[in-house]
Chain A
Amino acid sequence: MFGAGGGTSSYREIETAELIVLWGSNARETHPIFFHHVLKGVRNGARLIVIDPRRTSSARWADLWLGLEVGSDIALANGIAHEIIHAGLAREDFVRRATAGFDDYRRCVEAYPAERAEQLTGIPAGVIREVALAYARATRAQICWTLGITEHHNAVDNVLALINLALLTGHVGREGSGLNPLRGQNNVQGGGDMGAIPNRLPGFQDVEDVELRAPFEAAWDCVIPPRRGLHLSQMFDAMERGELTSLYVVGENPAESEADQHRALRLLGGLQHLVVQDIFLTRTCQLADVVLPATASWCEGEGTVTNSERRVQRVRKAVEPPPGARDDLEIVAQLAGRLGRPWGYGSAEKVWAELRGLSPMHRGMTYPRLEALDGIQWPCPSEDHPGTPTLHTRLWAEPRGGPPAPFSVVEHEPPVDELTPDFPIRLTTGRRLDSFNTGVQSSRYASPLRRGESIDLHPEDATQLGVVEGERVRVVSRRGALDAPVRLDPGLRPGLAFMTLHFPDEVPTNVLTIDAYDPKSGTAEFKATAIRVEPLAEPATT
């Protein structure tokens, strides 16, 4: 946000907050150890507000749970902003000194009085006002979110809507207040930081900026394409158009993890050349022309990852990989050699040293320092810099450091997959505590919590459909259908269903989901599918 993609606070700051808002996050199950810090905050007296269509195990801890309509987050955020402004609680000094674009923003949210927000979100206007006042009045407030915000066709707008709230109230850039996206995987943050996204070079530097590109070109002795590349969803579109014919997949299982799985399989199967590098023979590997067996980098190799509080952390080799499996770094280096760029195979530390030379925000992080400090939070520009627990304190500096933080005008847009009489139920997806994504790693241990995939329904919906817990039903979306057993969850509400992606071999949930995606982030709208549920068995006639 405002030029750096990372959470602004440290986990420990959550413990001192007065108000914690978990928005589109079931951290109790998806980020359990982060939630420990939330709980410490709660024990220290923080008020916890959880905003999630489902009453999750996180929501059970909340002083206030708001079960908003799926995909109505912007309406809620704008409604909250409207109430803050009208209550005279906007942090005007901060808005003036540290932000830009407030007038346009104010005009935008003027159209979201609480009563309209109620219509769009389902949350009573009075409660929206209450949240607005609580957030604006708290001395230290945190907003933390996860995929409930970002797995939407307007993911970036969703995030911007939350950032707007923090700018409006000054809840950013100060210790204890902040905006924190909780990353879904152990190196999502690091991947982006290292330039494994289409528009950035390592150190989150804009690939389209000639001045930022120059040092890399010098160091690497090559010309870097001056335009951003394609993100995952765009790649699939390019495959569809026949423009992308060869694909190299490293440690990802798109054959099962992509939305609209039928389409994903068709497109992957239609490639001229598919190379997959993974630790298991995944479904995607099965479609590949070449499979490169890799090591489990977190325990069979050396390197770093970066977590959701921007902390670069060392991973270390604890076990020998199976024979034939090779370190990702070695594979990439050898591949480069065969392609005519003989980099040689250096150590992880050597690669890191090169990164430090090119990425100012990592410059001060030597391996010995990472070791000694148990990881360092970026930015860390020099070897005498302790790292940065709280980001964007520059906004409060006198005079302000750097450019102002911009408000963004964002409007409510309902999910793409519309509810109609044919598809009357909103299916949303997520994770369970003991499992992870498509189960490549997590399906291989004996979890007593695991109960397999199911379609979770509110008991009233089940009654209306005449189905009972455990009964298999057919779930149909506009893109596909599958069979799954029913599980009853009173934490849902009538008209809202839930599934995970954890057991694609049993239940390929992604045949249902829609590949409508956010044009900026490329994330598909996993959180909002329109479905219907059909009983399979004929009703008993005795």
Chain B
Amino acid sequence: MNPDFKSLTIKTGFNIRIFNDFKEINARHKKCLNLNNLSLINTSSPTPQSKRNE
């Protein structure tokens, strides 16, 4: 059985806040919304990064 993406629950408080904001945007700009753009970010702070490069 494959998971249904629509049934995925968003658990953390942070994500719930984003999700609510997002619903609002979705309602206001429905035609403009595109969930197909993904980006990745590196979240290291500068200190450990520079330590690694020593």
Partners in one complex: no
B interface residues with partner A (beta carbon < 8 Å): none
A interface residues with partner B (beta carbon < 8 Å): none
